[in-house]
């Protein structure tokens, strides 16, 4: 797969999952940068590091509703022998930070309000009698108690968010606090989504004899959105080379084409041949289950990933190959989900020589810090419910034909 060029020779050997992932990513380049407001930035990938230009918080302020005091003035305070202090004033959130606290007094202060000069602690309301003219303080306070100091959160020159980060709500809060209203992000990739097969009808239509609803199209479109892309639904191509060609040519202007089905070696599987005719094919087999047939190439300069047709195979291969590709196009620093160790609670069969991805459910650990994982029932590549019930993929290594209960494996949790 290559943008703007053709791969001359198709790799005929079956690649490992890691090799296939690396070949796909190596052929991609991040999309151009654009600026968006904070309300549009959630989930976008930051293109430039955000450096603080401000002190945050900008002034010393109170972490509690209570009374600003000098710690030395209340050093001996107890519930039995409270210290009585006159209340010299009040500091409210949004009020002037230019206040001073005379020695031997207290000042009523609200959460987030400026702490007056001279005060070095805040006694919370609950530890006083809440007096307004004078206050009885019933606990001693150490310097710094319930204080937030200017600059303790962020200071000028601090790197707050690094380029390549996928933005979360907390990141946008930090930007707003720093006065950053626009963020440079990578453009969202437009992804053509094509389903193929004579047997398919659109969701909502009543299938006729021998027909099934297209589940891959909606699932892939949703997964593209989750990965930060913009799905462009191309509909359903019938099992003829001419119809596949017509649909693929309709993807002009997209940044990636993702199809499902038609990439194997059956008499009615035309996708690979059409991709080669319109562009080039890099490879088409991966040593894994589910999802061994995976066609990767380009169509008139647009990267192409052809996924298998079985619903589980389609979604698993999207997770392992297409999702990282979309994040790479957006310049993300982390494109693969993290993997965790887990202990299998069931014997798990697999084909020898194929890295296998079962669908599993994580269960709490039994005290050793390693969670357990169970299968979600039948692991057939046509059983959609195995994914509906799953919260992770269970990674079984290529070597061997089974993994025994109690063995340690890697899992890929969803939703990270």
| Averaged pLDDT, 317-323 | 98
Instruction: Give the strands of the sheet with 83-91, arranged side by side.
Output: 121-124, 66-69, 106-109, 83-91, 134-137
Cα dist. 128→36, 100, 131, 137, 357 in Å? 48, 21, 8, 5, 61
- Binning pLDDT at 50, 70 and 90, where does residue 2 land? very low
Average pLDDT over residues 145-174: 98
For residue 359, what are its two tokens? Answer: 């669908």
The pLDDT, as a whole number, for residue 416 is 66
Cβ atoms of residues 403 and 348 within 8 Å = yes
Domain boundaries, the chain: 17-32+188-329, 36-56+164-186, 61-148, 340-413
Q: What is the mean pLDDT of residues 319-329?
A: 99
Taking only the tens place, the pLDDT of each residue in 116-152 is 999 999 999 999 999 999 999 999 999 999 999 999 9
Kindly report the CATH number that applies to the domain delimited by 17-32+188-329: 3.40.980.10
| C-alpha pair distances (Å), 125 with each of 132, 151, 170, 256 | 11, 26, 29, 59
* Per-residue pLDDT at 8 exceeds 70: no
Gap between the Cα atoms of 222 and 237, Å rounded: 20
pTM attached to this predicted model: 0.90
Same fold, 17-32+188-329 and 61-148: no
The architecture CATH gives domain 61-148: Beta Complex (2.170)
pLDDT in tens, 21-55: 999 999 999 999 999 999 999 999 999 999 999 99
Retrieve residue 311's tokens: 């619903």
Mean pLDDT of 338-357: 94
CA 74 vs CA 128, 139, 332: distances in Å: 11, 7, 53
- Reported as a single tens digit per residue, the pLDDT across 62-75 is 999 999 999 999 99
> Rounded distance, CA 322 to CA 275, Å?
17
pLDDT digits (tens, 9 = 90+) for 289-308: 999 999 999 999 999 999 99
Whether CATH 2.40.340.10 fits 340-413: yes
Q: Is the pLDDT of residue 207 over 80?
A: yes
């Amino acid at each position: 797969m290559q943008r703007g060029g053709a791969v001359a020779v198709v790799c005929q050997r079956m690649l490992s999952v890691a090799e296939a992932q690396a070949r796909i990513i190596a052929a991609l380049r991040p999309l151009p940068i654009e600026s968006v407001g904070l309300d549009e930035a959630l989930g976008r990938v930051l293109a430039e590091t955000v450096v603080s230009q401000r002190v945050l918080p900008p002034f010393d302020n109170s972490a509690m509703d209570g009374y600003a005091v000098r710690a030395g003035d209340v050093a001996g305070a107890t519930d039995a022998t409270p210290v009585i202090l006159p209340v010299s004033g009040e500091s409210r959130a949004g009020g002037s930070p230019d206040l001073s606290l005379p020695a031997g007094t207290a000042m009523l202060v609200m959460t987030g309000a400026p702490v007056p000069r001279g005060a070095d602690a805040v006694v919370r309301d609950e530890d006083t009698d809440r007096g307004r003219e004078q206050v009885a303080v019933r606990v001693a306070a150490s310097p710094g108690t319930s204080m937030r100091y200017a600059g303790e959160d962020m200071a000028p020159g601090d790197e707050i968010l690094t380029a390549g980060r996928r933005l979360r709500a907390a990141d946008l809060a930090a930007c707003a606090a720093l006065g950053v209203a626009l963020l440079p992000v990578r453009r969202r990739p437009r992804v053509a989504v094509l389903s193929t097969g004579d047997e398919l009808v659109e969701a909502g239509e009543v299938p006729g004899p021998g027909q099934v609803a297209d589940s891959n199209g909606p699932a892939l479109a949703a997964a593209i959105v989750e990965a930060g892309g913009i799905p462009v639904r191309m509909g359903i191509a019938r099992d003829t080379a001419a119809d596949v060609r017509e649909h693929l040519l309709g993807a002009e202007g997209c940044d990636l084409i993702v199809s499902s089905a038609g990439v194997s070696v059956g008499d009615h599987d035309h996708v690979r041949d059409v991709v080669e005719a319109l562009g080039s094919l890099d490879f088409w087999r991966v040593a894994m289950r589910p999802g061994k047939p995976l066609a990767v190439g380009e169509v008139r300069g647009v990267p192409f990933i052809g996924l298998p047709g079985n619903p589980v195979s389609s979604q698993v291969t999207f997770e392992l190959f297409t999702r990282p590709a979309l994040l790479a196009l957006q310049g993300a620093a982390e494109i693969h989900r993290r993997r965790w160790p887990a202990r299998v609670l069931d014997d798990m069969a697999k084909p020898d020589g194929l890295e296998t991805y079962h669908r599993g459910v994580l269960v709490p650990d039994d005290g050793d810090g390693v969670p357990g994982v169970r299968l979600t029932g039948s692991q057939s590549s046509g059983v959609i419910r195995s994914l509906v019930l799953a919260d992770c993929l269970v990674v079984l290594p290529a070597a061997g034909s089974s993994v025994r209960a109690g063995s340690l494996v890697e899992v890929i949790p969803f939703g990270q």
